[in-house]
Amino acid sequence: MNVDLARLGERIRVERERAGLSQRDLESRASMSQSMLHRLETGKRTNVALADFDRLAQALSVGLDELLYGSPVEARVLAAARTSGCAEADLRAALRQGIELLKLDDRLDAVVPYLRQEATHWKPEISAVGSVQDRGRAAAEQVRNALNTGNAPIADLVESVEHLTGVDVGTTLLPSGVPGICVTDPERVTSVVLVNSNDVAERQRFTLAHELGHLLFGDGTHVDDMDGNRSPQEILCDEFARHLLIPQNGVRAWLKGVNRTVGETRVDERVMALLARHFGVSPDVARIQLDRMELLPGELQFVGLPSGRRWAYRFGWGPQFDSEQAAASQSRAPRRILDRAIVAYREGKLGLGVLAKLQDLPVAQIEQALTEAGVFVTPTIRRADVNALVSRATARDSVEDRPGS
């Protein structure tokens, strides 16, 4: 077997750390001494048989080929992102976070073959004719009908997107200038959308709604530069996102409710602020929608609007605003992937470190929470499957003949 020992050692170390295992943990699981593991991870030549690597791969819940030659997932991932003046390195770092989740989910297939992502394949019927604005509005109306939300605000957009598409959604700290990303493993038909938890809640919601548009309209890879010229597809997704979050019929119904309470009233800054809060959108999104509906007074069309926080403290919900933003800033791991990871932890196939990283929390805190929830590792007795091992060895007895070996 002829492999690059330095790269092999790095892969073993990375996979061990991804599994949240120490060398001592891996020693007992793989029946391999800690000194041998140290030599492998540092790229030193050792007398290790293919069967030893097979046990090591099983202990790390990765395929033998992946351990020896690298992950195929990364090579086939399709990626997309929304950017706002970010550096290329920051964009790559953000996409890497999504790819790592896909790689973890792929690894979990060997441990938890169920709870796989199941795409719904539901798509809105979008006419190829008509303005971008009309098409975006029509798609948003179909989504609202599918979610049975009527004209009301969408309370939990993450849950709605997951229910509608089957795609995993999470919030996490992404590099500055990257509001959101979407990565897809086409072979496993699995996608993950991540939204930047450093953005305010209203921007997170719009980013997620915009990414939902790309998913529903069948886009593959795309990089949206929000500071540059907008492509027709990006404008379509913006129109879709705005109508999804703050539908025109919902605005009219809300304004009628305000009129019944305080009498006939014109739209002013206070009304705009209350409207934006009701639907969970930013001041600018509320202004654009009112302008499209020809309900925006001229004096509010071009003036700089206060931030959502200033509006909140000016009109009476400042503390609630701060509380909501604090909640939105917390990382939210994709629920299905986290569910699979907890099952793997129960079965002793995944370390606490992975669960802690997924939830961006200290290991000790995760361990205490799981213990209080009655989640414990179930001891398992590993028995060698001789037939499977012989099959693997037979299939790879000519591994040195691989290209590049």
Whole-angstrom distance, CA of residue 204 vs CA of residue 202:
5
Q: At the topology level of CATH, where does 1-70+383-405 sit? A: 434 Repressor (Amino-terminal Domain) (1.10.260)
Whole-angstrom distance, CA of residue 289 vs CA of residue 265:
18
DSSP for 52-116, written as a single string: HHHHHHHHHTS-HHHHHH--SHHHH-EEEEEESS--HHHHHHHHHHHHHHHHHHHHHTTT--SS-
Q: Give the pLDDT band (50/70/90) at residue 263.
A: low
Q: 273 and 309 in contact (C-beta within 8 Å)? A: no
pLDDT at 70 exceeding the cut of 50: yes
Query: Once rounded to an integer, what is the mean pLDDT over residues 330-337?
Result: 96
Six token digits for residue 35: 């000194």
Looking at residue 170, its pLDDT comes to 97
∠ CA 331-202-144, nearest 5°, is 100
- Which parts of 148-247 fold into alpha helices (H)? 157-165, 201-216, 232-245
Six token digits for residue 275: 């409207």
Burial readout 30-40 (b: 16 or more C-beta within 10 A, e: otherwise): bebeeebbebb
Q: Give the pLDDT band (50/70/90) at residue 390.
A: low
Query: Once rounded to an integer, what is the mean pLDDT over residues 51-67?
Result: 80
Q: Enter the pTM of the model.
A: 0.78
Whole-angstrom distance, CA of residue 147 vs CA of residue 201:
21
10 phi and psi angles, rounded to 5 deg? -65, -40
Is the alpha carbon torsion for 145, 147, 148, 153 positive or negative? negative
Distances (CA, A) of 229 to 19, 193, 221: 43, 24, 18
Query: Once rounded to an integer, what is the mean pLDDT over residues 351-360?
Result: 90
Residues constituting the chain: 405
pLDDT tens, position by position, 199-230: 999 999 999 999 999 888 876 667 777 766 67
pLDDT tens, position by position, 82-138: 888 788 888 888 998 999 999 999 989 988 999 999 888 788 887 778 889 999 999
Whole-angstrom distance, CA of residue 349 vs CA of residue 379:
10
Q: Give the pLDDT band (50/70/90) at residue 386.
A: low
∠ CA 2-101-114, nearest 5°, is 95
Q: Give the pLDDT band (50/70/90) at residue 266.
A: confident
Six token digits for residue 194: 């991540």
Looking at residue 353, its pLDDT comes to 86
Q: Give the pLDDT band (50/70/90) at residue 194.
A: very high
Strand partners, 80: 182
- In the chain, what percentage of residues exceed pLDDT 90? 49
pLDDT at 260 exceeding the cut of 60: yes
Looking at residue 398, its pLDDT comes to 46
What kind of architecture, by CATH, is found in domain 76-244?
Orthogonal Bundle (1.10)
pLDDT tens, position by position, 271-314: 999 999 999 999 999 999 999 999 998 888 878 889 999 999 99
Residue spans per domain, the chain: 1-70+383-405, 76-244, 248-328, 333-374
Looking at residue 280, its pLDDT comes to 97
Sheet harboring 223-225: ordered strands across? Answer: 168-172, 190-196, 180-185, 78-83, 223-225
Q: What is the 3-state secondary structure (H, E, C) of 321-388?
A: HHHHHHHHCCCECCHHHHHHHHHHHHCCCCCHHHHHHHHCCCHHHHHHHHHHCCCCCCCCCCCCCHHH
DSSP for 121-173, written as a single string: -------SSS-HHHHHHHHHHHHHHHHT-TTS--S-HHHHHHHHH--EEEEE-
Q: Give the pLDDT band (50/70/90) at residue 389.
A: low
Task: Between 319 and 263, name the one with better pLDDT.
Answer: 319
User: In sequence order, what are the residues at sequence separation of 6 or more whose Cβ sits closer than 8 angstroms to the Cβ of residue 205?
Assistant: 157, 245, 280, 281
Instruction: Name the average pLDDT for the chain.
Output: 86
Looking at residue 309, its pLDDT comes to 95
For 223, the 3-state DSSP assignment is strand
Q: Return the closest-CA partner of residue 40 out of 73, 19, 20, 16.
A: 16
Asked if the domains 1-70+383-405 and 76-244 are classified in one and the same CATH topology, the answer is no
Query: Once rounded to an integer, what is the mean pLDDT over residues 178-197?
Result: 93
The neighbour count for residue 335, using CB atoms within 10 Å, is 14
Q: Give the pLDDT band (50/70/90) at residue 397.
A: low
81 phi and psi angles, rounded to 5 deg? -160, 155
